[in-house]
Amino acid sequence: MAPEPEKEITMEEVSKHNTTEDCWIVIGNDDTGGPKVYDITTYLDDHPGGSEVLLDVAGKDGDEFFEDIGHSNDARDELKKHMVGVLKLTPEEIEQRRLDKENKIGGGGGGGMGVVAVVVAAVAAAYFYYKNSIEES
């Protein structure tokens, strides 16, 4: 017997479940098997970090927060118990996720180097101003 196909759920639907009485979140990305939808309503009181952190991402994509914390395998196993489906993405949402990932990996286009260049230019200008003011004295 073939396994039952996973239910596809849109982000619009997920966004409607954002309260303590009805709390869904999206966790997952291309590197972890794709975004999945979880109904964590019954888990809110059991979460070791408190329900508040979960409610902050209720009805949203909480994958980045989940991964940044570095959850254990036990936490990932617990999460599986609450899965209600997979996130159905539109072509636009797929492209936006791809761009977000590129920007995260690429550092957002090198904006940090621009700051370094401005600081170096300011230091150089201050040095030349100071050097010229001493020579004129």
38-52, 56-70, 78-92, 115-129: which has the minimum mean pLDDT?
Answer: 115-129
- What's the average model confidence in pLDDT over 100-129? 65
pTM of the model: 0.72
Please count the CA atoms within 13 angstroms of the CA of 110 that sit on its side-chain side: 3
Between CA 88 and CA 7 the distance in angstroms is: 9
1-5, 107-111, 122-126: which has the minimum mean pLDDT?
Answer: 107-111
State the pLDDT at residue 123. Answer: 64
CA-based torsion, 9, 13, 14, 20: positive or negative: negative
Whether residue 9 has pLDDT greater than 80: yes
Distances (CA, A) of 62 to 27, 90, 117, 126: 6, 18, 35, 46
